[in-house]
Chains A and B, each alone.
Chain A
């Protein structure tokens, strides 16, 4: 069935270093890949997304890359700051539906 694997489950980095979170999806019909950030006590918030016709997208310190052949996509955060500490979820959405399959989340801790 449809599945999204996300690694690592926890990640600690020093402030200023980069963080990379990786996801693999199983449904080849997926064409939209959003990343959500969930801070403590809040709902997930969209931080960046990528569509299957694009290989990379950047927005200031965050970037997402997509390898359709390998069914991999990754979130890259550069120059991490303490406020980047949160749980990050990747997701894959199938063409023609809004049903998102979420990864299990990565708890990122940025150490000051």
Chain B
């Protein structure tokens, strides 16, 4: 157990629907990251939050949004779902926001597998 908790583990939904994926970071970690892993693809960075604020944005679609709450858990909202959104969505956490040498370690959760039919 990495200490990063993601729910749900599996989710099946239809095109056009909206889903929310949830992540609880490892205890003490302030940063949360979301990554998308499509079939046989690498990990694509979506977005990073640090202590409730957005810090970095990657290839995140406008149909997707995220937030980090005061208790540091994060949610990734995926709307107007398309078949191509089917993927594994990983959350990762780290202690800081990337400015301290020696603290650049990401810990990943087990992922949420989204299937859009």
Contacts and interface: CB of A to CB of B under 8 A. Distances in A.
- Interface of A (DSSP majority class): strand
Nearest to A53: B101
Interface in B65-103: 90, 92, 94, 96-99, 101
Contact of B106 (A34, A51, A101): A34
Interface in A49-104: 49, 51, 89, 93, 96-104
Interface in B1-28: 2, 4
B115 interface: no
A98 B90 contact: no
Interface residues of A, number: 24
11 contacts: A43-B2, A43-B92, A43-B109, A89-B43, A96-B98, A97-B98, A98-B31, A98-B55, A98-B96, A99-B58, A99-B98
Interface of A: 6, 32, 34, 36, 41-46, 49, 51, 89, 93, 96-105
Interface of B: 2, 4, 31, 33, 35, 41-45, 48, 55-56, 58, 90, 92, 94, 96-99, 101, 104-111
Given A98-B106, A102-B43, 20 more contacts: A32-B104, A34-B104, A42-B110, A43-B108, A43-B109, A45-B2, A49-B105, A51-B101, A89-B42, A96-B98, A98-B48, A98-B55, A98-B96, A98-B97, A99-B45, A99-B56, A100-B43, A102-B35, A102-B44, A102-B45
